[in-house]
């Protein structure tokens, strides 16, 4: 099966919210000897962006979005395992979490999965993570980047709090920081002093690679 057909089927599996089909396509891609990163980036991730656009326009709803995210996650597990089996040297390390007071993580799992495909180690602290925990774990794991997600306008101040605490502790230059989430903007990132802002999973990958390059 050609790469073009695999990419089309990968996108379709996400748009159809079909986890079983997504897993089958991922397995077929590996059987054909295709590049897992290309399949993820130009197939499954395209589907996720498309479903996100449809959600934004009110043409699909939250249940479909969540099922699509689950399909993406299951396909990614298979492709990621193939990458890990290749024993690829890690380029960097990132810590990520949804800020305290916010229990939403739709999309964060996709961001994590896509960043991992770039040979970057990701420590996901989950949801409702206090600033002090983010800093403690960043120090413990000696990460390059701290990424935070805020899905509620009321929890945005936690991202500012992280920047303030890093400066207060004299750690601001030790870590690069990236923010994301529905209410976040580049203007917000600039205002609080974050190093980067990502609008979606694909942009997050690009920004993380840039930040790792700056660190190295």
Cα–Cα distance between 182 and 135 in angstroms, integer? Answer: 23
Supply the DSSP symbol for 129.
Answer: B
User: What is the spatial distance between Cα 145 and Cα 53, in angstroms, rounded to a whole number?
Assistant: 28
pLDDT at 87: 52
What are 95's strand-pairing partners?
Answer: 123, 146
**CATH for the 3-85 domain, from 1.10.1240.10, 2.30.330.10, 1.10.287.110, 2.40.110.10:** 1.10.1240.10
Tens digits of residue pLDDT in 77-126? 898 888 766 555 678 999 999 999 998 776 787 788 778 767 788 999 99
Identify the pLDDT of residue 148.
Answer: 97
Side-chain half-sphere CA neighbours of 40 within 13 A? 28
**Confidence check: pLDDT of 202 > 80:** no
More confident: 83 or 173? 173
* Mean model confidence pLDDT for the chain: 90
CATH architecture of 92-215: 3-Layer(aba) Sandwich (3.40)
Please state the φ and ψ torsions of residue 27, each to the nearest 5 degrees.
-65, -40
Cβ 100 vs Cβ 73: under 8 Å: no
Q: Where in the chain is the domain with CATH 3.40.50.280?
A: 92-215
Give span(s): CATH 1.10.1240.10, the chain.
Answer: 3-85
Please write the tens of the pLDDT for every residue from 51-82.
Answer: 878 887 889 888 888 888 889 889 988 988 88
State the helix-helix crossing angle for 108-116 and 62-85, rounded to 10 degrees. Answer: 20
Is the separation of the CB atoms in 91 and 205 below 8 Å? Answer: no
């Amino acid at each position: 099966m050609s790469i073009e057909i695999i990419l089309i089927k990968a996108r379709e599996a996400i748009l159809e919210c079909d986890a079983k089909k997504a897993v089958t396509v991922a397995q077929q891609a590996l059987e054909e000897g295709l590049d897992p990163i290309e399949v993820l980036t130009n197939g499954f991730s395209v589907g996720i962006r498309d479903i996100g656009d449809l959600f934004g326009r009110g043409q699909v709803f939250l249940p479909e979005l969540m099922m699509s995210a689950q399909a993406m996650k299951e396909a990614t597990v298979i492709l990621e395992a193939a990458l890990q089996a290749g024993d690829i040297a890690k380029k960097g390390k990132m810590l990520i979490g949804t800020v305290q007071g916010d229990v939403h993580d739709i999309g964060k799992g996709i961001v994590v999965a896509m960043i991992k495909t770039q040979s970057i180690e990701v420590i996901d602290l989950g949801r409702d993570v206090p600033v002090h925990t983010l800093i403690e774990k960043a120090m413990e794991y000696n990460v390059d980047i701290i990424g935070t997600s805020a899905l509620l306008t009321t929890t945005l101040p936690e991202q500012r709090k992280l920047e303030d605490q890093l400066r207060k502790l004299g750690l601001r230059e030790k870590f690069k920081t990236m923010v994301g989430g529905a209410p976040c903007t580049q203007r917000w990132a600039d205002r609080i002093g974050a190093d980067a802002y990502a609008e979606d999973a694909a942009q997050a990958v690009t920004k993380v690679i840039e930040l790792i390059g700056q660190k190295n």
